Copies of this chain bind each other. A is one copy, B any other.
Amino acid sequence: MTVDEPISKPLSYNDFKTLFTPALSKLDAQRVCNPFYLIKGLPKDLKPAENSVYLAGGMPFETMFPFKKVSVKYRTSPGKLGSLEQNDASDDELYGEYSIPLYSDPSVADKEMDIARGFQYSDNIGLPTLISYAKKLVNRINKPIYDNWDVIITSGSSDSLSKCCDLFVDEDTTVLCEEFTFVNICGHVNYANGSCLPLKLQVTMDEELQGLDTDYMEDLLENWEKYFPDKKKKLVLYSIATGQNPTGVTQSLSKRKKIYEICCKHNVIILEDDPYGYLQLPKFDAANPLKNPYNEAEMSVESFCKDILKPSYMTIDTEGRVLRLETFSKVGSPGLRLSFIAGNKFLIERLANISFMTTRNASGISQSLINNLLYEFGTKYQKQINPNADIIDGWLNWCMKIAGEYTNRRNVLFKAIHESEAFKKGMFELLEPSCGMFASVVVNMKPEWINAKEKSERDLQIKRVMDYLLCCLLETGCMPVLGYKMTIHREFSMERANFLRITFAKTESTEMFELGAKNMSTAFERLFDEYMTVNEKWSLSPAGLVGM
């Protein structure tokens, strides 16, 4: 999985500092923290007592916490659609138990977290054991090609994005984004006073082509001064390179190399947001819709890591310009609010400085809960499957099972949609995601719906059709997200925004997926029957729904 490219000389912390200090936001340059409890400049001949009585920090002693012990009953496999469990095995097979004790046994204290440490004030960058697991995870799947990298634990990926934007973005910064994306990024960028700019996205089934349009990107950056004579060329790329949200496309390795090369040339920082990377989806087989390669015997943690997962930009990052954002939200729980950022030591140190001056560390409860789960999964895997396995393999085994369950969910929804009337009649196409939890439903517009000569008018026509479709969907009983609501710049993308984003994440049963597909089909039939006829039920304005 990792790509071994020789680098001429190892990059040091100071190299990173020199390279990336100019990329920091103006405000970040003035952020200095000087904790009041730090002691500096002590005489060299001073011999501090070994067991000093600590009367400094306002930390409640651990017997003042109301919590004595936390025990967790955990799943060995995710629940199956429509059932709380994956199968009808015994409780012992389905579940395990681990705990967060008041004090860990010293023999495991470097791996297991306890209440005395995890529920106390702790380091801004995260609990040492969890940082260690996060590093192992990066090393195992996406080994960076330089050595001086580090990891910081954050309070979820929104927090990661917020901190990355605080680090790089000010009024002179432009953040380049896939034209359709997780648009909350714009909120983070605006918060830091910068602006976003869309890059064209190739949404195609061609695995080499899909993802950012590199020709478009290259032209834009080569001719920046021509296109934007008044805009500084201080750039950050925000990209969901694997299982892109909302389109589900994944950049091929050759495309990543091309994009990386462009970013080096034009000094673009890369924020690689990868919330869905573990949720790899094998090809859907319409002839055998419930086929799930994850259930087959040859699938193993080894093959999952080696053949299935896609390599991060960190594996080709010769200059240290990539920050990789991972999260425990999708394969753990969103409520953990736990993510991590990997990148070169200088940038991670700057992010730690931001943590100190804003949120401090992520919840120690969340960190302890996931840390001890990683440890429990790991030791169990070593006991039951492979005594030589890395401690992180138990977690990867869980990730693989989750990917298998998402594949199952994708299959069930896709089967139902393929069997629906509207699909058979060609009213829409279903774009298959390579990864993640979303699929796109592309409306096959009738030419007369979008017949205006002017692009701006045609844009409104497209919006009005999509809004009418939304109304139909809401009445028949199906709740999607409108593609045009996920654009960085609506005008730029409206012609390609004739789609819905649907997810197979949240629905609870096969029956509900079937009902959803049926309702969606009914809504499409209504659209095709009613739209631009005397039967239009709602008198939408020429621009569709107001305020959308």
Question: What's the least CB distance linking A244 to chain B, in Å?
Answer: 12
The complex places the Cα of A475 from the Cα of B52 at a distance, in Å, of: 8
Question: What copy number does this chain have within its complex?
Answer: 2
CB-CB under 8 A from A24, the residues of chain B are none
Q: Is A546 an interface residue (CB 8 A)?
A: yes
Contact of A65 among B80, B119, B333, B338 (CB under 8 A): B333
Q: Is the CB of B70 within 8 A of A70?
A: yes
From known contacts A33-B187, A405-B64, infer whether A335 and B364 are also in contact, taking CB-CB under 8 Å.
yes
Q: Is A474 an interface residue (CB 8 A)?
A: yes
Contact of A470 among B39, B470, B475 (CB under 8 A): B39
Q: Is the CB of A365 within 8 A of B479?
A: no
From known contacts A54-B479, A512-B53, A540-B43, infer whether A336 and B359 are also in contact, taking CB-CB under 8 Å.
no
Question: What's the least CB distance linking A310 to chain B, in Å?
Answer: 19
Q: Bits for A291-321, please: 1 = Cβ < 8 Å to B, else 0.
A: 0000000000000000000000000000000
* Complex interface residues of chain A between 314 and 339 (CB less than 8 A to chain B): 329-330, 332-338
Among A55, A95, A367, A480, which residue has the most Cβ atoms of chain B within 10 A?
A55
The complex places the Cα of A59 from the Cα of B329 at a distance, in Å, of: 9
Contact of A78 among B64, B120, B159, B337 (CB under 8 A): B64
The complex places the Cα of A505 from the Cα of B548 at a distance, in Å, of: 54
Question: What's the least CB distance linking A403 to chain B, in Å?
Answer: 11
Contact of A481 among B37, B78, B188 (CB under 8 A): B37
Binding site for B on A (CB under 8 A): 27, 30-33, 35-37, 39-43, 45-61, 63-75, 78-80, 83-85, 95, 102, 115, 118-122, 155-156, 158-159, 162, 183-184, 187-188, 190-191, 193, 245, 329-330, 332-338, 356-369, 373, 398, 402, 405, 437-438, 470-471, 474-481, 485-486, 501-508, 512-513, 515-516, 519-520, 537-540, 545-548
